[in-house]
Amino acid sequence: MKKTLKIAMLAAVAATPAFADAPYVAGALRNMENPLYLPTAGEVYSKVGFGIMYKVTDNNDAQRKLFHGGANEFPIWRPTLDLGYGITDRWAVHGQIGYTHNRDVHRYGFHLGRLGTTYRIVNSGDGWVWDVYGDLHMGGIEKMKGSLVNKSGASHDPRLTTFEYDNFSNGRWGYHVGTKVGKVWDRWTTSAFVELLRTWGNHNNEIDTTKVTLADLKPGQPAIALSNVGIPDKISVDLKSTTEFDLGANAFYQVNDRWSWGVGLKYIYHAENSLKKVHTEISNPNGQAVANGLIANYKEMHDEFSEFAQSFTLAYQATDSMQVSWFIENTLDNGQRLSASTTDFKIETAIRLNVKF
């Protein structure tokens, strides 16, 4: 297991009239950082965050092929936006987007995109809450983009040919379904959740083939451009569908009408990607043979990984409708040898402003 430290600081300061007094059970559920928060009928909320991340890459096969194992990456910018609307006191719609800009590896794009709804099945007088939710996974809004590369130089060693990703999208549409159960005890709130993500395989991707030669893919071949054997500069491949899941638990404490804090545990499983075939039509028989070899080598991507995150949040209620918070998360991760997502160390700081109206 590798340990990743991810710290997100969400802070701002405002001096305004006091937050209205209320029983803690009711007040805790109105706190936008409470894991059981749901907007009331007609209420709109937004959560705007802006973060900066520092990380040290894993020293696995994927990074060593890129001569980037154990490398430092900073700054990595990560803005986020959450929006929601209460249709009734039990039913809400919501959406999330997140963008990552990593200049060190020239990797940019959306890392998060969800649009969905939550329904509160149980909201009992003694503090019990049970929610179910479903979201559209919006990975297909942007193509997965990357390049075939070989950084071994003049040796053109095919064993060092690998993928280098240009963005963070998986290019696939899908859906999240989940459920959350919790209870409020005066100042304390506890909750647990489980969620499934199913993505549908497609060919919504773009692979640049201009950075490798025939010698980089097949031993003993000349170092000529792949276009000479009929392979286009950009190709797409059919990816298989995937099933992933995450689960976790949270505890939240309402200190007073201004301050609150919470802790959380979360496990996330990310499935391995698999190639089915080259989707782009290649009429040249030599080029088709090279493409078939590519699929044979990358039929299984060996990029499965999992994360276990522990988090702490400190929030300040500036007004009845505005809140700011400070968040810190520590993550342990482990992955297969060609995962581009595992790290040795990762730390993130950010500010987030929560507003409801």
Q: Please compute the mean of the pLDDT values over residues 12-40 and round it to a whole number.
A: 66
Residue 240 one-letter amino acid: K
Q: Give, for 251, the enclosing helix (H) or strand (E).
A: strand 242-254
The fraction of the chain above a pLDDT of 70, given in percent, is 93
Q: What is the pLDDT of residues 107-127, one digit of tens each?
A: 999 999 999 999 999 998 889
For residues 6 and 266, give the distance between their C-alpha atoms in angstroms, rounded to a whole number. 13
Q: What is the DSSP letter of 274?
A: B
Of the candidates 102, 162, 167, the one whose C-alpha atom is nearest the C-alpha of residue 139 is: 167
The whole-number pLDDT of residue 349 equals 86
Question: What CATH number is given to the structural domain containing 330?
Answer: 2.40.160.40
Predicted TM-score (pTM) of this structure: 0.89
* Most distant CA pair in the chain, distance: 77
Of the candidates 96, 264, 248, the one whose C-alpha atom is nearest the C-alpha of residue 181 is: 248
For residues 141 and 169, give the distance between their C-alpha atoms in angstroms, rounded to a whole number. 8
Q: Is 344 helix (H, G, I), strand (E, B) or coil?
A: strand
For residues 159 and 201, give the distance between their C-alpha atoms in angstroms, rounded to a whole number. 27
Residue 295 one-letter amino acid: I
Q: Where are the alpha helices (DSSP H) in the chain?
A: 24-29, 61-65, 214-217, 285-298
The whole-number pLDDT of residue 26 equals 61
Tell me the pairing of strands 2-8 and 322-335: antiparallel
Q: Where are the alpha helices (DSSP H) in 176-213?
A: none
- DSSP count for the chain of H helices, then E strands: 4, 19
Mean residue pLDDT of the chain comes to: 89
Residue 76 one-letter amino acid: I
Residue 121 burial class via C-beta count within 10 angstroms: exposed 0-12, middle 13-18, buried 19 and up: exposed
Residue 291 burial class via C-beta count within 10 angstroms: exposed 0-12, middle 13-18, buried 19 and up: buried
Q: Please compute the mean of the pLDDT values over residues 272-277 and round it to a whole number.
A: 90
| Residue ranges making up the domain that contains 15 | 2-356
Q: Which residues pair with 178 in a beta bridge?
A: 133, 195
Tally of domains in the chain:
1
Q: What is the pLDDT of residues 315-326, one digit of tens each?
A: 999 999 999 999
Does residue 186 surpass a pLDDT of 90?
no
The whole-number pLDDT of residue 42 equals 97
Q: Are 7 and 314 in contact (CB under 8 A)?
A: no
Does residue 11 surpass a pLDDT of 50?
no
Q: What are phi and psi of 319, to 5 degrees?
A: -140, 180
